[in-house]
Structures are given as C-alpha cells and as structure tokens.
Amino acid sequence: MVLEQVSLNKAFGGEQGVWQHIARETGTPMRFSVFVPEHGPGEKLPVLWYLSGLTCTHANVTEKGEYRRACARHGIIFVASDTSPRGEGVADDEAYDLGQGAGFYVDATQAPWAPHFRMRSYIEQELPALLGEHFPADLSRQGITGHSMGGHGALTIGLRNPGRFRSVSAFAPIVAPLQCPWGEKALTAYLGDDRADWRAYDAVALIEDGARLPDLLVDQGEADNFLEGQLKTHLLAQACAAAGMPATIRMQQGYDHSYYFISSFMEDHVDWHAARLKAD
C-alpha cells in the first residue's frame, strides 16, 4: 500500500510524521499522524490510537494534545486519524455535526453517505494493517482513546472488539448517541430510521447488550457546556455500575470541552495506557 509522507519532524528523540494514502474503505485520500518514539533496531512498540471529535482532523491533537513527552518516556506509538473522508465528490452538509468532519466512526448504509463514510472499517481494519506494514508497531499491544465524538468511537470500537485493546479511555465522550441530539441526527442520516441498527454505535447500549471492557478510564469536565445535553456521562456510569464493569469516571471541576482540558489530562491517560501495554 502506497504511503506518502506529508511532513516529518524530530520530537522528544523520536519522529512526528503526517502521512497520506488512498484509502480502500473510503475511496478518498486520508491523512493521519504518527509519533514514533526513539527505539532500537527491530524493536516493536505498543500503539495508542486517538480518535478526534466533531470538526477536527488529525491535526488538532497532533498540535495541541501534548502527548509526545509521555509517549517518548513509555515507548508508545501514538496514532491520530482524520474524522471522516473529505474532498470533491464526498457528500457533505452545511451543519458542523454531519458530513465531512463528522463521520461518527460508523459504516454508513444510507445515501448519499454510504459510498465514502466507512470510518468504522477504516479504523478497525484498514489503518491498523497499514500501520503494521509501515511502522514498528506491535499490534498485540494496542490501546485506544479519543475525545467527544472520538471518545464515542474509542468506547464503541473497544466494546465491539473484545481482546483487541488492552486499554480503553476517553475524554468527554458521547456515551449514548441514541439519547442525544448529535447522535440521533447523525445515526438517522448514516444508518436510517431503525434504531436497532444504531445500538452497535452506542456505548451504553453495547454494555446493556453484554459487551464488556476489562477496565475503563474517562475524564469529563464539569464546566463542559455539552455535558448535560449531549455527553450525559452519568448514563455511562450507570451502565457500568449495573453491568459490574470496572470504570474510573472522573468529573474534573472547572474544565471545559477544549484541548486545554484534554492536554491537562493527556499524560495521565498515556501513563494509564502504558501500565496496561507493557510487554508480557
């Protein structure tokens, strides 16, 4: 698979790169960033995936996430993908919460989205294969995290793929798309009106239906203006408690939805993942 280097910079002894390829799943050019820490010849490193939120690309966390120092210290590859297919001929919407920049990490089944909006398969299948082919990644040691819509992606991908991820965390995730305006709008557009088809993309519903994680870390700002109407963190806490699923859900006083919040707790999350991604 052909991979084009967009940029490459030395950082904390390792390399921060941005790469582009023509994706099989979306049929479009896709960009992603990869931080590879300094490592020995032939050494394979664990991987931490990061999924971004509405309106974002790979660039938001790459430029503002402040993860490199911690990843260099622990020897963890950090991968940040885009949030949707983009470009001429790709369906879009004038609203920020649908279309390009708002893929919701689903495989769309409805027109006009179905031909390109296959972010579930891109993240679960295509991009990991690409990473394993071109980077020193140990795919037996993967963790996943994300923010907002990307937190929804991290939770649902982790829950749907038992055994693949040793660690799952999230920053201010959308936990129950079936029960919030963002989710109802996006899932109706991408998947149709049958709400049963939505449950595979709802963390609370997946837990109610029997999916489990070995443990979970979530940070949520108490001053987040999306908390009550869209994120509804309490529903995740209730679902985990009812299922007996271990979860550390921390409400952080005074923090909002921005990268000021994310960067404040990124090192904590990398440390938490690192403890679970160590070699056996």
Helix (DSSP H) and strand (DSSP E) numbers for the chain:
9, 9
Q: Measuring CA to CA, which residue among 23, 179, 148 is closest to residue 86? A: 23
Quote the pTM value. Answer: 0.98
Burial of 210 (0-12, 13-18, 19+ CB in 10 A): exposed
Question: Phi, psi at residue 49, to the nearest 5°?
Answer: -85, 140
Q: Measuring CA to CA, which residue among 263, 154, 131, 265 is closest to residue 201? A: 154
Q: What is the DSSP letter of 199?
A: G
Instruction: Tell me the C-alpha distance between 53 and 61, whole Å.
Output: 10
Q: What local confidence, expressed as pLDDT, does residue 268 receive?
A: 98
- Residue 175's SS3 state is coil
Residue-wise pLDDT tens digits, 58-115 = 999 999 999 999 999 999 999 999 999 999 999 999 999 999 999 999 999 999 999 9
Residues in Cβ contact with 218 at an 8 Å cutoff, skipping those fewer than 6 apart? 151, 169, 170, 171, 173, 233, 236, 247, 248, 249, 250
Q: Strands 165-171, 137-146: parallel, antiparallel or unpaired by DSSP?
A: parallel
Q: Which domains does the chain have, with CATH numbers?
A: 4-277 (3.40.50.1820)
Other CB atoms within a 10 A radius of the CB of residue 242 amount to 11
Q: What local confidence, expressed as pLDDT, does residue 280 receive?
A: 65
Residues noted as catalytic:
148, 224, 257
Q: Measuring CA to CA, which residue among 207, 74, 203 is closest to residue 143? A: 74
Q: Measuring CA to CA, which residue among 274, 263, 275 is closest to residue 66? A: 263
Other CB atoms within a 10 A radius of the CB of residue 97 amount to 18
For the chain, list residues with pLDDT below 70: 280
Q: Measuring CA to CA, which residue among 108, 46, 50, 116 is closest to residue 82? A: 50
Q: What is the DSSP letter of 46?
A: E
Q: What local confidence, expressed as pLDDT, does residue 258 receive?
A: 98
